[in-house]
Amino acid sequence: MRSRSLVRLVLPPVVFGLAFLVLWEGAVKVFDLKPYFLPPPSSIWTRFRENLGLIWEAASVSGTNALVGLVVGTVIGVALSFVLARFRVVNELVTPLAIALNAVPIFVLVAVLNNMFSITSEVPRRLMVSIVVQFIVLVNVTRGLRDIDQTHLELMRSFAASEVTILRKVRVPNAMPYLFTALRIAAPAAVITAFVSEYFGGSQNGLGSRIVGNIAISANAAAWAYVLAACLLGLSFFLTAVALELVVSPGGVGSPARDGA
């Protein structure tokens, strides 16, 4: 039964995707669209295969930036949310600040960060990713640590549990689904941020820079091949986050414990 529901889950988007590609290919042929306007999927795929080595290199650069930023941002975000959940005053001080920081247009920050570090450094991009990730993790995990079922709290008090015990046995497990919800959002966001950060100077070695570079020389099909790689990278981050959640969450697939936020 599970495999059947998996088929029902996967089949429609796959069929839709394939149909879309066929339509795209057909439209390019029928309307005789020029490659500089819109290259057909078949030639994007050819470029993708030809440049696999280069694409892989570029993807590793962007992917590493995204991953480092994701890990650092998650660690800082979780640490901050513990402080926020514990002290209401800190929460009221920091939350507006975090929201304000998140509202700053991303490229402004990258430009500022780029000026702070050497031009070939990957640090500004990683910092940028971690800032974006931090915010997502912070907001969700703080909620998970705070929104405790009243019955659970009374029960723990009836067991004579201390605040530290309540934190360990109730608040932290309660926050886990919130953390995974955050990661599901933050993982692809990390890739997008790493990618967009490359548009604003620095070394020209990542997926974002390669797309800009190829567009500049009108190598549209090659640019699209890098776009495809970026999609795959984002997707793999998202799927890793989902897989991690399935492994960690109690009761596995279908557990309502997963539907935290």
Query: Rule CB under 8 A: which residues touch another protein?
Result: 149, 151-152, 154-155, 157-161, 165, 169-170, 173-174, 176, 250-251, 255-257
CB of 259 to another protein, least distance (A): 10
Q: Which is nearer to another protein, 76 or 166 (CB)?
A: 166
Q: Which is nearer to another protein, 160 or 217 (CB)?
A: 160
Instruction: Look at residue 25 and give its three-state secondary structure.
Output: helix
Instruction: Look at residue 36 and give its three-state secondary structure.
Output: coil
CB of 153 to another protein, least distance (A): 9
Cα distance between residue 86 and residue 47, in whole Å: 53
Q: Which is nearer to another protein, 35 or 252 (CB)?
A: 252
CB of 158 to another protein, least distance (A): 4
CB of 135 to another protein, least distance (A): 26
Cα distance between residue 209 and residue 194, in whole Å: 11
Residue 80, class by beta-carbon neighbours within 10 Å (0-12 exposed, 13-18 middle, 19+ buried)? buried
Q: Which is nearer to another protein, 13 or 256 (CB)?
A: 256
DSSP 108-141: HHHHHHHHHS-TT-SHHHHHHHHHHHHHHHHHHH
